[in-house]
Amino acid sequence: MSKPQAPALAHRTLRAHAHCAPAALTQLPLPLGVAPISLDDLLGEQNAPVLAALRAGINQPRALWVHGSQGSGKTHLLRAYAGLLAEHAQSVRLIDAKLGLEPDLLESTLGLDSILIDGVHAWAGPAQAELSLFQLINRHVHDQQKLLVLSANAPALSLPWQLQDLRSRLTQCSSFGLTLLHEDDLVRALRARAAAHGAELDDAVCAWMLSHYSRDPGTLLNMIEPMERAAMAEKRRLTLPFVRSYLRSHAQSGPAASQHA
Protein backbone atom coordinates (compact mmCIF):
# COMPACT_ATOMS: atom_id res chain seq x y z
CA MET A 1 0.00 0.00 0.00
CA SER A 2 1.51 3.32 -1.02
CA LYS A 3 2.31 5.96 1.56
CA PRO A 4 0.20 9.13 1.77
CA GLN A 5 1.57 12.07 -0.15
CA ALA A 6 3.03 15.10 1.55
CA PRO A 7 0.75 18.12 2.09
CA ALA A 8 0.62 20.66 -0.69
CA LEU A 9 2.33 23.98 -0.05
CA ALA A 10 2.31 27.29 -1.87
CA HIS A 11 5.58 27.93 -3.73
CA ARG A 12 7.77 30.76 -4.75
CA THR A 13 10.77 30.95 -7.04
CA LEU A 14 14.24 31.34 -5.59
CA ARG A 15 15.79 34.57 -6.76
CA ALA A 16 19.06 35.02 -4.95
CA HIS A 17 20.16 37.57 -7.53
CA ALA A 18 17.32 39.44 -9.20
CA HIS A 19 18.89 40.43 -12.49
CA CYS A 20 19.83 36.86 -13.38
CA ALA A 21 16.42 35.26 -12.91
CA PRO A 22 14.08 36.43 -15.67
CA ALA A 23 10.61 34.91 -15.69
CA ALA A 24 11.35 32.59 -18.60
CA LEU A 25 14.02 30.65 -16.73
CA THR A 26 13.24 27.31 -15.12
CA GLN A 27 13.99 27.36 -11.42
CA LEU A 28 13.11 25.05 -8.55
CA PRO A 29 10.27 26.19 -6.29
CA LEU A 30 10.72 26.72 -2.58
CA PRO A 31 7.86 26.44 -0.09
CA LEU A 32 6.36 29.87 0.59
CA GLY A 33 7.09 31.16 4.06
CA VAL A 34 9.09 28.11 5.12
CA ALA A 35 12.36 28.99 6.84
CA PRO A 36 15.52 27.53 5.26
CA ILE A 37 16.54 24.05 6.38
CA SER A 38 20.13 23.78 7.54
CA LEU A 39 22.64 21.62 5.70
CA ASP A 40 23.41 19.88 9.00
CA ASP A 41 19.81 18.71 9.38
CA LEU A 42 19.70 17.42 5.81
CA LEU A 43 23.01 15.59 5.82
CA GLY A 44 23.60 14.11 9.27
CA GLU A 45 26.95 12.94 10.62
CA GLN A 46 27.45 10.19 8.03
CA ASN A 47 27.51 12.80 5.25
CA ALA A 48 30.09 15.02 6.93
CA PRO A 49 32.45 14.98 3.89
CA VAL A 50 29.68 16.38 1.67
CA LEU A 51 28.90 19.10 4.22
CA ALA A 52 32.58 20.05 4.50
CA ALA A 53 32.98 20.25 0.71
CA LEU A 54 29.89 22.45 0.30
CA ARG A 55 30.97 24.82 3.06
CA ALA A 56 34.48 25.03 1.62
CA GLY A 57 33.01 25.77 -1.81
CA ILE A 58 31.67 29.11 -0.60
CA ASN A 59 35.17 30.58 -0.44
CA GLN A 60 37.07 28.06 -2.56
CA PRO A 61 34.98 27.60 -5.72
CA ARG A 62 35.31 24.36 -7.67
CA ALA A 63 33.20 21.72 -9.40
CA LEU A 64 31.36 19.30 -7.11
CA TRP A 65 29.38 16.20 -8.08
CA VAL A 66 26.86 14.92 -5.50
CA HIS A 67 25.10 11.64 -6.20
CA GLY A 68 22.58 9.55 -4.32
CA SER A 69 19.58 7.30 -4.66
CA GLN A 70 15.93 8.38 -4.79
CA GLY A 71 14.97 9.96 -1.48
CA SER A 72 18.51 10.79 -0.40
CA GLY A 73 17.62 14.48 -0.39
CA LYS A 74 19.63 15.85 -3.31
CA THR A 75 17.01 18.39 -4.41
CA HIS A 76 16.42 19.71 -0.90
CA LEU A 77 20.17 19.80 -0.31
CA LEU A 78 20.73 22.07 -3.33
CA ARG A 79 17.84 24.29 -2.26
CA ALA A 80 19.35 24.70 1.20
CA TYR A 81 22.80 25.32 -0.29
CA ALA A 82 21.43 27.96 -2.66
CA GLY A 83 20.00 29.78 0.34
CA LEU A 84 23.33 29.57 2.17
CA LEU A 85 25.20 30.96 -0.84
CA ALA A 86 22.72 33.82 -1.12
CA GLU A 87 23.30 34.61 2.57
CA HIS A 88 26.99 35.01 1.66
CA ALA A 89 26.06 37.60 -0.97
CA GLN A 90 26.63 35.28 -3.90
CA SER A 91 24.52 35.39 -7.04
CA VAL A 92 23.28 31.84 -7.48
CA ARG A 93 21.09 29.96 -9.92
CA LEU A 94 19.39 26.64 -9.17
CA ILE A 95 18.40 24.70 -12.30
CA ASP A 96 16.25 21.57 -12.57
CA ALA A 97 17.85 19.57 -15.40
CA LYS A 98 15.01 17.05 -15.33
CA LEU A 99 12.73 19.69 -16.88
CA GLY A 100 14.89 19.80 -20.00
CA LEU A 101 17.64 21.95 -21.43
CA GLU A 102 17.07 25.69 -21.62
CA PRO A 103 18.05 26.99 -25.07
CA ASP A 104 19.70 30.06 -23.53
CA LEU A 105 21.51 28.23 -20.70
CA LEU A 106 24.93 29.77 -21.37
CA GLU A 107 23.56 33.29 -21.74
CA SER A 108 21.24 33.10 -18.72
CA THR A 109 24.01 31.92 -16.38
CA LEU A 110 26.63 34.42 -17.52
CA GLY A 111 28.11 36.43 -14.65
CA LEU A 112 26.80 34.27 -11.81
CA ASP A 113 28.98 33.41 -8.84
CA SER A 114 27.51 29.94 -8.38
CA ILE A 115 25.48 27.52 -10.49
CA LEU A 116 23.68 24.50 -9.04
CA ILE A 117 22.16 21.91 -11.40
CA ASP A 118 19.84 19.28 -9.95
CA GLY A 119 19.25 15.97 -11.72
CA VAL A 120 21.99 16.49 -14.29
CA HIS A 121 21.82 12.80 -15.21
CA ALA A 122 18.86 13.83 -17.40
CA TRP A 123 21.34 15.51 -19.75
CA ALA A 124 23.40 12.36 -20.36
CA GLY A 125 22.78 11.30 -23.96
CA PRO A 126 21.15 14.27 -25.74
CA ALA A 127 23.91 15.85 -27.84
CA GLN A 128 22.91 19.48 -27.34
CA ALA A 129 22.51 19.06 -23.58
CA GLU A 130 25.95 17.47 -23.27
CA LEU A 131 27.57 20.17 -25.40
CA SER A 132 25.93 22.94 -23.34
CA LEU A 133 27.08 21.34 -20.09
CA PHE A 134 30.60 20.96 -21.45
CA GLN A 135 30.69 24.62 -22.49
CA LEU A 136 29.26 25.70 -19.15
CA ILE A 137 31.92 23.79 -17.22
CA ASN A 138 34.67 25.23 -19.40
CA ARG A 139 33.53 28.80 -18.92
CA HIS A 140 32.30 28.78 -15.34
CA VAL A 141 34.81 26.47 -13.67
CA HIS A 142 37.96 26.35 -15.80
CA ASP A 143 37.97 29.90 -17.19
CA GLN A 144 36.31 31.85 -14.38
CA GLN A 145 37.20 29.60 -11.40
CA LYS A 146 33.67 29.70 -9.98
CA LEU A 147 31.46 27.26 -8.09
CA LEU A 148 29.44 24.59 -9.93
CA VAL A 149 27.51 21.87 -8.07
CA LEU A 150 25.93 19.02 -10.02
CA SER A 151 23.59 16.45 -8.48
CA ALA A 152 22.67 13.12 -10.07
CA ASN A 153 21.37 9.67 -9.32
CA ALA A 154 24.73 8.02 -9.94
CA PRO A 155 28.49 8.74 -10.12
CA ALA A 156 29.42 10.84 -13.15
CA LEU A 157 31.31 8.21 -15.12
CA SER A 158 28.60 5.58 -14.70
CA LEU A 159 26.22 7.69 -16.83
CA PRO A 160 25.97 7.25 -20.63
CA TRP A 161 27.78 10.41 -21.74
CA GLN A 162 28.46 10.46 -25.48
CA LEU A 163 30.77 13.49 -25.59
CA GLN A 164 34.21 12.25 -24.58
CA ASP A 165 35.49 15.75 -23.80
CA LEU A 166 32.64 16.12 -21.31
CA ARG A 167 33.47 12.79 -19.67
CA SER A 168 37.01 14.05 -19.27
CA ARG A 169 35.84 17.28 -17.65
CA LEU A 170 33.56 15.40 -15.25
CA THR A 171 36.47 13.30 -13.97
CA GLN A 172 37.85 16.55 -12.56
CA CYS A 173 34.80 17.12 -10.35
CA SER A 174 35.15 16.30 -6.66
CA SER A 175 32.59 13.51 -6.24
CA PHE A 176 30.57 12.67 -3.12
CA GLY A 177 27.91 10.03 -2.52
CA LEU A 178 24.98 10.83 -0.23
CA THR A 179 24.12 8.28 2.42
CA LEU A 180 20.49 7.93 3.50
CA LEU A 181 19.98 9.24 7.02
CA HIS A 182 19.50 6.75 9.81
CA GLU A 183 16.20 6.85 11.70
CA ASP A 184 17.85 8.43 14.76
CA ASP A 185 19.25 11.23 12.58
CA LEU A 186 15.83 11.88 11.05
CA VAL A 187 14.20 12.02 14.48
CA ARG A 188 16.83 14.47 15.74
CA ALA A 189 16.34 16.63 12.64
CA LEU A 190 12.56 16.63 13.03
CA ARG A 191 12.78 17.61 16.68
CA ALA A 192 15.34 20.32 15.97
CA ARG A 193 13.11 21.72 13.22
CA ALA A 194 10.11 21.74 15.56
CA ALA A 195 12.13 23.31 18.37
CA ALA A 196 13.19 26.12 16.01
CA HIS A 197 9.48 26.99 15.79
CA GLY A 198 8.88 26.68 19.52
CA ALA A 199 7.19 23.28 19.29
CA GLU A 200 7.91 19.74 20.46
CA LEU A 201 7.55 16.38 18.76
CA ASP A 202 7.30 13.26 20.91
CA ASP A 203 8.37 9.74 19.97
CA ALA A 204 4.90 8.73 18.79
CA VAL A 205 4.64 11.63 16.32
CA CYS A 206 8.11 11.05 14.88
CA ALA A 207 7.53 7.31 14.54
CA TRP A 208 4.19 7.85 12.77
CA MET A 209 5.65 10.37 10.32
CA LEU A 210 8.56 8.09 9.47
CA SER A 211 6.27 5.12 8.89
CA HIS A 212 3.70 6.97 6.76
CA TYR A 213 5.74 9.41 4.64
CA SER A 214 8.86 9.48 2.53
CA ARG A 215 12.06 9.48 4.56
CA ASP A 216 13.55 12.11 2.31
CA PRO A 217 14.78 14.58 4.98
CA GLY A 218 13.79 17.73 3.11
CA THR A 219 10.23 16.52 2.55
CA LEU A 220 9.82 15.60 6.21
CA LEU A 221 11.34 18.80 7.56
CA ASN A 222 9.24 21.02 5.32
CA MET A 223 6.11 19.49 6.86
CA ILE A 224 6.88 20.87 10.32
CA GLU A 225 6.31 24.62 9.90
CA PRO A 226 2.81 24.51 8.34
CA MET A 227 1.75 21.97 10.97
CA GLU A 228 3.08 24.17 13.77
CA ARG A 229 1.26 27.21 12.36
CA ALA A 230 -2.00 25.28 12.17
CA ALA A 231 -1.57 23.99 15.71
CA MET A 232 -0.85 27.49 16.97
CA ALA A 233 -3.95 28.85 15.24
CA GLU A 234 -6.07 26.22 16.97
CA LYS A 235 -4.16 26.62 20.25
CA ARG A 236 -3.11 22.99 20.17
CA ARG A 237 0.12 21.05 20.50
CA LEU A 238 1.69 18.81 17.87
CA THR A 239 0.19 15.65 19.32
CA LEU A 240 -0.22 12.48 17.29
CA PRO A 241 -4.00 12.95 16.80
CA PHE A 242 -3.48 16.52 15.57
CA VAL A 243 -0.55 15.67 13.27
CA ARG A 244 -2.34 12.65 11.82
CA SER A 245 -5.51 14.66 11.17
CA TYR A 246 -3.66 17.64 9.70
CA LEU A 247 -1.47 15.66 7.31
CA ARG A 248 -4.30 13.47 6.10
CA SER A 249 -6.56 16.46 5.46
CA HIS A 250 -3.81 18.34 3.60
CA ALA A 251 -2.54 15.48 1.43
CA GLN A 252 -2.02 16.79 -2.10
CA SER A 253 -3.59 15.17 -5.12
CA GLY A 254 -0.59 15.67 -7.45
CA PRO A 255 2.91 14.18 -7.37
CA ALA A 256 4.37 14.09 -3.90
CA ALA A 257 7.16 16.45 -2.99
CA SER A 258 9.15 13.39 -1.99
CA GLN A 259 9.63 12.59 -5.66
CA HIS A 260 12.31 15.25 -5.74
CA ALA A 261 15.46 13.34 -4.95
Q: Domains in the chain and their CATH numbers?
A: 11-177 (3.40.50.300), 183-259 (1.10.8)
Higher pLDDT, 23 or 73: 73
Environment class of residue 149 by beta-carbon count within 10 Å: exposed (0-12), middle (13-18) or buried (19+)? buried
Confidence label for 253 from pLDDT (cuts 50, 70 and 90): very low
Taking residues 101-125, report their average pLDDT: 94
Mutual angle of helices 48-59 and 74-87, in 10-degree steps: 30
Q: What is the pLDDT of residue 217?
A: 78
The pLDDT of 172-195, averaged and rounded, is 87
Q: What is the pLDDT of residues 196-241, one digit of tens each?
A: 888 889 889 999 998 988 877 778 888 888 898 899 899 999 999 9
What pLDDT sits at residue 153? 94
- 80 versus 131: which is more confidently predicted? 131
Contact 187, 194 (CB under 8 A): no
**Measured distance CA(76)–CA(235) in Å, rounded:** 30
User: Over the stretch 13-53, which tens digit does the pLDDT of each residue have?
Assistant: 333 433 333 333 333 333 334 455 667 666 777 788 998 99
- CA–CA–CA angle 169, 172, 173 (5° rounding): 105
% of the chain with per-residue pLDDT over 70: 80
**Which one has a higher pLDDT value, 7 or 39?**
39
Predicted local confidence at residue 150, as pLDDT: 98
Q: What is the pLDDT of residues 137-148, one digit of tens each?
A: 999 999 999 999
pLDDT tier for residue 80 given thresholds of 50, 70 and 90: confident
Mean residue pLDDT of the chain comes to 81
